[in-house]
Chains A and B, each alone.
Chain A
Amino acid sequence: MFSARSRITAQSSTTNGGTTSTFNTDSFGLRYPHRLNFYSVPPKEDITIEDFEIWAIDRLRVLGEIESSFVRNRSMDEMKRVTQAQCKKYLPLNANSAVAVDRDAERRKDHVSHFVLRLAFCRSEELRYRFIKTEMMLFKLRYDEHADELNAFVSSLGLGFNSVGSDELKQYEAELRAASIAPLHTDIGKETFYKVRWTKVPDLIERRKVFLHNGMAYVHSSDQSSMVFQAFQANLEKQLEQTAKALPRLDEDNRILPILENLSQGFIAGVPSEYASADETGDGVTADMIDEMARKHWPLCMRNLHDTLRKERHLKHYGRLQYGLFLKVIGLSIEEAIVFWRKAFGNITDDKFSKEYKYNIRHSYGLEGRRHNYPAKSCQMILTTNQPGVSESHGCPYRHFSPDNLEAALLSTYGSQGFTRNDLPEIMSDVKSSHYHVACTRVFEITHGIKKGEGIGGGESVTHPNQYTARSRELEKASSGDGMVVD
């Protein structure tokens, strides 16, 4: 697009090549001398397939949180808080001064995971756009921290900003002073301004923060970050397109592509946590408790399965699978599960139940056949695998219901928990833009009387039905606990 862009990549290749010799002067002796990374040079050393996947998933969690912050209209401060919490957990990046930490390992993980996700997200226009948008935000959020190390980082990029000569400064002195937010030095010659095409600093233009003449923006050195961000974005855009072109020629041994495929789906539903076995809160759930728990704690997908089961006294295969594994993780023991399903299937004989269903239930608990302890299905699995056919009730109602039915279901299911007709437009617009987990999270907030944006705690979105339920039960416990204190 803009001809100047190519220069940026060419000059910035000195950033992080892993060439140790160049940076020996660095007092910390780090392979990655800077906390931040412009990701101009791909990592070249070997990496295990496990790290490849796990690191990428960790980064995806952070990016997923940023993306859902966009969708949920979080303020910049909120987004910062939420993202920093996620970063600390999954992708820590300490300053040079944090001597006690293996900073090189952190930075390597940051470096590698970025490039793995590039491979996963370069493949369509939409994925590229979303990746750039979230990576850009991550870079910005990190940029603000540890300002003392920034200058060294920025100058290492060699972006070649042209500073304005003193004659020109004098010529536009009045305008430069009037356009500047901060007071300038009485001798304008002592200030540094950069002159760039305004299209490179759209955010400064939008907030009317620069002097603009003949298409050139005069950017004060304190606003240099805008130019760095723009260069970061331009760099990433360009390289993603190159990656997309190179990907089909990748000499691949069938281990990486499935991982990439899976990763690129991560954006659809966020990254789920693994819910494989009963969570600790689920102590002693029995079959006869399910009805009440369903009413209070189940997300819409499970409510729908439960209600269908009660109404039709039967569920089809995938419905049983989705609901059965969910119940297992809630804490329903195998004995209770058999009781629950036996009672639920009112129209069949004991003999038929034992033959046709009992085996499957025991199988899903890891007691038959492969003896695999199957995890409960995450939102991502529910959204993207085994789409429900006619007369099947599994899947995600936000995605698989028609708008009219979804509205009716929401009102009848959650009406008693404070969900009103007025909440519908917001939910339906999330659904329309395919942000199903956002819709679900918002319903959680409404039905649990939680402030918008809080999500299921700390601003996290729903990525797993069991996570939804666990949080709902925690909330109930907390409030009943408070009640006792008051007594």
Chain B
Amino acid sequence: MTNTNNDAMQVEDDASSPEVMRIFYQRIYPFKSIFTWLNHEHQPSKLFKYREFAFTLPGDVYLRYNSFLNPEDMKKQVIKLNPSRFEVGAVYSGMPKDKKTLRPGMFQPTLRELVFDIDMTDYDSIRTCCSGKGICKRCWGFIAAAVEVLDQALRTQFGWKHLLWVYSGRRGIHLWISDEEAMMLTDEQRKAVMGWLEVIKGGKEQVKKVNVRTWKTFASNTARAPQPTSGETDEKKPPSAEGGRGALHPALLAALDSLKANFQELILDDQDCFASEDGWKVLLELIPDKTIRSALQEAWASDSDKSSSDKWIDFKREVKLHLKNAPHKKATLTAAMEDIILQYTYPRLDAEVSKHRNHLLKAPFCVHPSTGRVCVPIDPSKVHDFDPETVPTVGQLLRELNEVTDPENQHHSDWEKTSLKPYVDMLDKHAANLIAERLIVKKEEGKSNYSW
């Protein structure tokens, strides 16, 4: 239990209590908003009716292939089954609840938001403030850096407009992209997007996790130059050719620009990643030059109190010194420095979630069972100011409702009286943009073959 006000612990605070969840669904959960967001118009379409929902019931019961005719039907069923949380899946070629009556070939996922999942656990090897399930305002810096990069890449490179970022309720963030093109992507194309975006690769046993450089070949007979790996001596590197080696792809250059600032603030100042011996040893392993490595090793081993920021300055100074004697190494060392920045700050994506149309992802505004926090949308331009510990919990929301002195007048939009309102408003605004675009498409119907 991560709840902070333990002494004032009340019934409402227990998100695992079925009673609490039932009241939450009855009075607070914004079914109408969720419906409009998924449906792209006011009249229930296949986008909603053929959509899979999966329920997690107490006792680890998992109910797949639920579907609903309209938001009222959805609310009724959710209250009846009272799940601890539920997930949203793909739009299928038939109603998921009729799956058993359809011929196997006739039930295929057809459309689906492109989704992303970033989880704090993937940062465990570099974050120093918390580990495992814990998350604080400080670790959120990693997520904020990731959101900044991804949001920009998806909008400018892929040209998508309808991105909804949602806090996952504990230690991560989800992204739902609802653009027409993104909805229609095949699994193969989804995989391609992940290939484009993924930079951090390799398991625990691989120190250098960034290998994204294209080594340009100037001799026409060599097809492919080998990728540099950590710890490799300089002699093994591909032959140097001025200006041609190890250029970063423009997409990654753009990411690097916004990550540089984050690196100083987040990695050096706040997280102080190279303070501990384990921390700076990793840094040393990422430096591809023996002379620099041993000079730094000596300096840092004797001075255990040196901050990360100072160590980074040491590193930059050593590089400068070294380049005086060996100017031809500039490209290699600059590349190494950039790769270190990428390795510590570039978004770490859970790729499997995004690759398949039929993957399920927790619906916005669900309650995280262990923290009690509601999965609220986040404005990506303010993501750096977001503090997961200020997100309303289900207990807080129910208390706020109790303070409203009009018990006679309970209706479905009770969330308006709680601190959930700004978040629901955010989703409504997002959905309104989708509806507006859908209207334009509908007007052009006949020209376009975008039909649900």
Q: Do A and B bind each other?
A: yes
Interface residues of A in 171-227 (CB under 8 A from B): 174-175, 178-179, 181-183, 198-199, 202-203, 205-208, 211-216
A251 to chain B, nearest CB (A): 26
From known contacts A124-B105, A178-B247, infer whether A205 and B216 are also in contact, taking CB-CB under 8 Å.
no
On whether A212 and B185 interact (CB within 8 A), knowing A3-B449, A181-B214, A198-B158, the answer reads no
Q: A3-B449, A202-B192 are in contact. Are A212 and B157 (CB under 8 A)?
A: yes
State A1–B108 Cα separation when bound (angstroms). 15
A183 touches B192 (CB 8 A): no
Residues of chain A with a CB closer than 8 A to B217's CB: 181-182
Set A178, A182, A206: member contacting B250, Cβ < 8 A: A178
Closest to B158 in A: A215
The answer to whether A206 and B191 touch (CB under 8 A), given A182-B217, A183-B218, is yes
The CA-CA distance from A175 to B251 in the complex, in Å, is 9
Residues from chain B with Cβ under 8 Å of A203 in the complex: 192
Q: How far is the CB of A217 from chain B (nearest CB, A)?
A: 10
B158, B218, B250, B253 — which one has the most chain A CB atoms within 10 A of its CB? Answer: B250
Task: Give the nearest-CB partner of A198 in chain B.
Answer: B158
In the complex with contacts A3-B448, A3-B449, A183-B244, A211-B250 CB distance below 8 A: yes
Task: Say yes or no: is B317 at the interface (Cβ < 8 Å to chain A).
Answer: no
Give 9 A-B contacts (CB < 8 Å), ordered by A residue: A3-B449, A178-B248, A178-B249, A178-B250, A178-B253, A181-B216, A203-B192, A213-B157, A216-B159
Is A404 engaged at the interface, CB distance under 8 Å to the other chain?
A: no
| B195 interfacial contact with A, CB 8 Å | yes
Q: Which residues of A contact B253 (CB under 8 A)?
A: 178
Q: A178-B249, A181-B214, A208-B249 are in contact. Are A199 and B195 (CB under 8 A)?
A: no
Q: Count B interface residues, CB 8 Å.
A: 33
Q: How many residues of A contact B (CB 8 A)?
A: 26
Partner of A215, one of B181, B196, B247, B249: B181
Q: With both chains docked as a complex, state the minimum distance between the C-beta of B187 and any C-beta of chain A, in angstroms.
A: 10
- The docked-state distance in angstroms from the alpha carbon of A179 to that of B212 is 12
Task: Determine whether A291 belongs to the interface, using a CB cutoff of 8 Å to chain B.
Answer: no
Closest 4 CB pairs of A and B: A206-B195, A215-B159, A202-B192, A214-B159
B109 CB → nearest A CB, Å: 12
Taking the complex as formed, is B156 at the interface, i.e. its CB lies under 8 A from any CB of chain A?
yes
Please encode chain B, from 212 to 255, with 1 for each CB lying within 8 Å of some chain A CB and 0 for all others. 10101110000000000000000000000000100111111100
- CB nearest neighbor in B for A233: B188
Residue of B nearest to A1 (CB): B184
1/0 per position for B178-218, CB-CB distance to A under 8 A?
00010011001101111110000000000000001010111
Residue contact B251 to A208, C-beta cutoff 8 Å: yes
Task: Find chain A residues with CB under 8 A from B249 CB.
Answer: 178-179, 208
- Nearest-CB distance from A261 to chain B (Å)? 17
A125 adjacent to chain B (CB < 8 Å)? yes
CB proximity of B170 to chain A, nearest CB, Å: 31
Instruction: State which of A126, A199, A207, A211 has its C-beta within 8 Å of the C-beta of B181.
Output: A199
User: Are the C-beta atoms of B185 and A199 separated by less than 8 Å?
Assistant: yes
Interface readout for B55-82 with A: 1 if CB under 8 Å, 0 if not?
A: 0000000000000000000000000000
0/1 interface trace, chain B 96-129, chain A, CB 8 Å (1 if under): 0000000001001000000000000000000000
Residues of B within 8 A of A (CB): 105, 108, 156-160, 181, 184-185, 188-189, 191-196, 212, 214, 216-218, 244, 247-253, 448-449
CB-CB < 8 A to A179: which residues of B?
249-251
Given contacts A124-B105, A203-B192, 18 further A-B contacts (CB under 8 A): A3-B448, A125-B105, A125-B108, A178-B253, A179-B251, A183-B244, A199-B181, A202-B191, A207-B195, A208-B196, A208-B249, A211-B250, A213-B157, A213-B159, A214-B156, A214-B157, A215-B157, A216-B159
Within 8 Å by CB of B105, from A3, A126, A174, lies: A126
Complex Cα distance, B186 from A206, in Å, reads 13
CB atoms of B196 and A212 under 8 A apart: yes
In the docked arrangement, what's the CA distance between A405 and B196, Å?
Answer: 45
Chain B residue contacts of A207, Cβ below 8 A: 195
- Whole-angstrom distance between the Cβ of A155 and the nearest chain B Cβ: 24
User: B158 touches which one: A3, A181, A212 (CB < 8 A)?
Assistant: A212
Q: How far is the CA of A198 from the CA of B193 in the complex (A)?
A: 10
B156-A213 in contact (CB<8A): yes
Q: Which B residue sits closest to A202, measured CB to CB? A: B192
With contacts A1-B184, A125-B108, A182-B216 taken as known, whether A205 is within 8 angstroms of B192 at the C-beta atoms is: yes
With A and B bound together, what is the CA distance between A178 and B250 in angstroms?
6
- Per the bound structure, the CA–CA distance linking A207 and B448 in Å amounts to 31
Are A208 and B184 CB-contacts (below 8 A) given A125-B108, A175-B250, A178-B247? no
Partner of B216, one of A124, A125, A183, A208: A183
Q: Which residues of chain B have C-beta atoms less than 8 A from A175's C-beta?
A: 250
Residues of B within 8 A of A208 (CB): 195-196, 212, 249, 251-252
In the bound complex, do residue B193 and residue A205 qualify as a contact, i.e. CB atoms below 8 Å apart?
A: yes
State in angstroms the CA–CA spacing of A207 and B249 once bound together. Answer: 11
B266 to chain A, nearest CB (A): 25
Which interface residue of B185, B196, B253, B448 has the most chain A CB atoms within 10 A?
B196
Tell me how far the C-beta of B147 lies from the nearest C-beta in chain A, rounded to whole angstroms.
Answer: 20
Interface centre among A182, A202, A203 (most CB of B within 10 A): A202
- What is the minimal beta-carbon distance from B227 to any residue of chain A, in angstroms? 13
Task: Tell me the minimal C-beta distance from A131 to chain B in angstroms.
Answer: 15
* Identity of the chain A residue whose Cβ is nearest the Cβ of B225 in the assembled complex: A181
Measured CA separation A174–B244 after assembly (Å):
13
> How far, in angstroms, from A206 to B185 measured CA to CA in the complex?
14
Q: Give the docked Cα–Cα distance between A178 and B196 (Å).
A: 15
Among B157, B196, B212, B448, the residue within 8 A (CB) of A206 is B196
Q: In whole angstroms, how far apart are the Cα atoms of A264 and B249 in the complex?
A: 45
* A202 and B189 alpha carbons, distance in the complex (Å): 6
Q: Which residues of B contact A206 (CB under 8 A)?
A: 191-192, 194-196
**Residues of chain B lying within 8 A (CB to CB) of residue A198:** 158, 192
Chain A nearest CB, measured from B369 CB (Å): 32
> Nearest Cβ distance between residue A219 and chain B, in whole angstroms?
14
- How would residues 405 to 423 of chain A score, 1 for a CB under 8 Å from any chain B CB and 0 otherwise? 0000000000000000000
Task: Give 1 or 0 for each of A67-83: 1 = CB within 8 Å of chain B CB.
Answer: 00000000000000000
Chain A residues within an 8 Å CB radius of B248: 178
